[in-house]
Structure 1
Amino acid sequence: MRIERSNWEQRTLGEFFDLQMGKTPSRKDLSLWEDGDTPWVSISDMKESRYISDTKEHLPYQTIAECRIPIIPVGTVIMSFKLTIGKTCIVSKPLTTNEAIMAFYPKKGIEVNSSFLAYALSALKWKGNRAVKGVTINKKTISEKNFSLPPIGLQDNIAAELDAIQEVIDGYKDQIADLDALAQSIFLETFGDPISNPKGWKTELISKFGRIVTGNTPSRAISDYYNSQDIEWIKTDNIVKDLLTPTTAYEYLSFEGAKKGRIVKSGSILICCIAGSLQSIGRCCLTDRSLAFNQQINAIECDVNHIPLFVYCLIKASQQLLIDTASTGMKHILSKSDLSSICLPVPPLELQQQFANKIASIEQQKDLLRQQLADAEMLMAERMQYYFS
Structure 2
Amino acid sequence: MIENIDKMNGWSIEELPNLVFFQEGPGVRNNQYTDSGVKLLNVANLKDGNVYLDNTDRYISEEEAYGKYSHFLVDEGDLIIASSGIKVEYFDKKMGFAKKEHLPLCMNTSTIRFKTLDDNILDIEYFAYFLKTNYFKKQISRLITGSAQLNFGPSHLKQIKVILPPIETQKKIVEVLDKAQELIDKRKEQIEALDELVKSRFIEMFGDPVKNPMNWEKRKLADECNIVTGNTPSRKVEEYYGDYIEWIKSDNITDARTYLTTAREYLSEKGLDVGRSVEPNSILMTCIAGSIKCIGNVAIANRKVAFNQQINGIETLDNNVFFMFEQFNLSQQYIQSTINMALKGILSKGQLSELEFIFPPIELQNEFATFFKQVDKLKSQMENSLKELEDNFNSLMQKAFKGEPF
The 1:121/1:273 distance shift into structure 2, 3 A limit, reads closer
The 1:326/1:20 distance shift into structure 2, 3 A limit, reads closer
Kindly indicate whether the alpha-carbon contact (under 8 Å) linking 1:233 and 1:249 is maintained by their aligned counterparts in 2: yes
Aligned equivalents of 2:230, 2:283: Cα separation in 1? 12
Q: Which residue of structure 2 aligns with residue 361 of structure 1?
A: 374
Aligned equivalents of 2:288, 2:74: Cα separation in 1? 40
The 1:152/1:325 distance shift into structure 2, 3 A limit, reads same
Q: Which residue of structure 2 aligns with residue 66 of structure 1?
A: 67
Kindly indicate whether the alpha-carbon contact (under 8 Å) linking 2:49 and 2:95 is maintained by their aligned counterparts in 1: no
Equivalent position amino acid for 1:299 in 2: G
CA deviation vs aligned residue, 1:35-86 (integer Å, no higher than 9, x gap): 44xx653332222245779884667876554233255544443444445477
Aligned equivalents of 1:172, 1:183: Cα separation in 2? 17
Measured after TM superposition, the shift of residue 367 of structure 1 is 1.2
Aligned equivalents of 2:28, 2:269: Cα separation in 1? 54
- TM-score scaled by length of structure 1: 0.84
Kindly indicate whether the alpha-carbon contact (under 8 Å) linking 1:270 and 1:284 is maintained by their aligned counterparts in 2: yes
Measured after TM superposition, the shift of residue 151 of structure 1 is 0.8
SS at match of 1:66: coil
Kindly indicate whether the alpha-carbon contact (under 8 Å) linking 1:231 and 1:253 is maintained by their aligned counterparts in 2: yes
Q: Trace 1:313-352 onto structure 2 (pairs within 5 A).
A: 313-329=326-342, 331-352=344-365
Confirm whether residue 89 of structure 1 aligns to residue 96 of structure 2.
Answer: yes
CA deviation vs aligned residue, 1:221-269 (integer Å, no higher than 9, x gap): 4443323x33222222222223122122222333443238933221112
Aligned equivalents of 1:371, 1:54: Cα separation in 2? 30
Q: Which residue of structure 2 aligns with residue 232 of structure 1?
A: 246
Kindly indicate whether the alpha-carbon contact (under 8 Å) linking 1:232 and 1:253 is maintained by their aligned counterparts in 2: yes
Aligned equivalents of 2:4, 2:264: Cα separation in 1? 36
Confirm whether residue 114 of structure 1 aligns to residue 128 of structure 2.
Answer: no
CA deviation vs aligned residue, 1:109-138 (integer Å, no higher than 9, x gap): 8433232121113332314559xxx75433
Task: Please say which of residues 158-167 and 108-117 is displaced more in the overlay.
Answer: 108-117
Q: Which residue of structure 2 aligns with residue 172 of structure 1?
A: 187
CA deviation vs aligned residue, 1:279-321 (integer Å, no higher than 9, x gap): 22222122212222223322222223x6221112122222222
Structure 1 residue ranges without an equivalent (≥5) = none
Higher helix fraction (1 or 2):
2
Task: Please say which of residues 197-206 and 236-245 is displaced more in the overlay.
Answer: 236-245
Q: Which residue of structure 1 aligns with residue 299 of structure 2?
A: 285
Structure 2 residue ranges without an equivalent (≥5) = none
Aligned equivalents of 1:288, 1:29: Cα separation in 2? 45
Q: Which residue of structure 2 aligns with residue 143 of structure 1?
A: 158
Q: Trace 1:195-210 onto structure 2 (pairs within 5 A).
A: 195-210=210-225
Aligned equivalents of 2:28, 2:301: Cα separation in 1? 46
SS at match of 1:333: coil
CA deviation vs aligned residue, 1:172-221 (integer Å, no higher than 9, x gap): 21111111122112112211111221110011111122332232333344
Q: Trace 1:1-389 onto structure 2 (pairs within 5 A).
A: 4-6=5-7, 7-21=10-24, 28=31, 34-36=36-38, 40-50=40-50, 56=56, 63-67=64-68, 68-69=70-71, 72-84=74-86, 87-93=94-100, 96-98=105-107, 100-108=110-118, 110-123=120-133, 124-125=136-137, 126=140, 127-128=142-143, 136-227=151-242, 229-259=243-273, 262-304=276-318, 307-329=320-342, 331-388=344-401
Equivalent position amino acid for 2:115 in 1: Y
Aligned residues: 381
SS at match of 2:299: strand
Aligned equivalents of 1:181, 1:356: Cα separation in 2? 15
Aligned equivalents of 1:129, 1:296: Cα separation in 2? 29
Task: Please say which of residues 159-168 and 252-261 is displaced more in the overlay.
Answer: 252-261
Between the two proteins, what is the percent identity of the paired residues? 31
Kindly indicate whether the alpha-carbon contact (under 8 Å) linking 1:51 and 1:89 is maintained by their aligned counterparts in 2: yes
Kindly indicate whether the alpha-carbon contact (under 8 Å) linking 2:231 and 2:275 is maintained by their aligned counterparts in 1: no
Kindly indicate whether the alpha-carbon contact (under 8 Å) linking 2:25 and 2:111 is maintained by their aligned counterparts in 1: yes
Provide the alpha-carbon RMSD of the alignment: 3.2
Measured after TM superposition, the shift of residue 387 of structure 1 is 3.2
The 1:245/1:12 distance shift into structure 2, 3 A limit, reads same
Equivalent position amino acid for 1:351 in 2: L
Measured after TM superposition, the shift of residue 346 of structure 1 is 0.6
Task: Please say which of residues 264-273 and 248-257 is displaced more in the overlay.
Answer: 248-257
Task: Please say which of residues 112-121 and 95-104 is displaced more in the overlay.
Answer: 95-104
The 1:58/1:387 distance shift into structure 2, 3 A limit, reads farther
- TM-score scaled by length of structure 2: 0.81
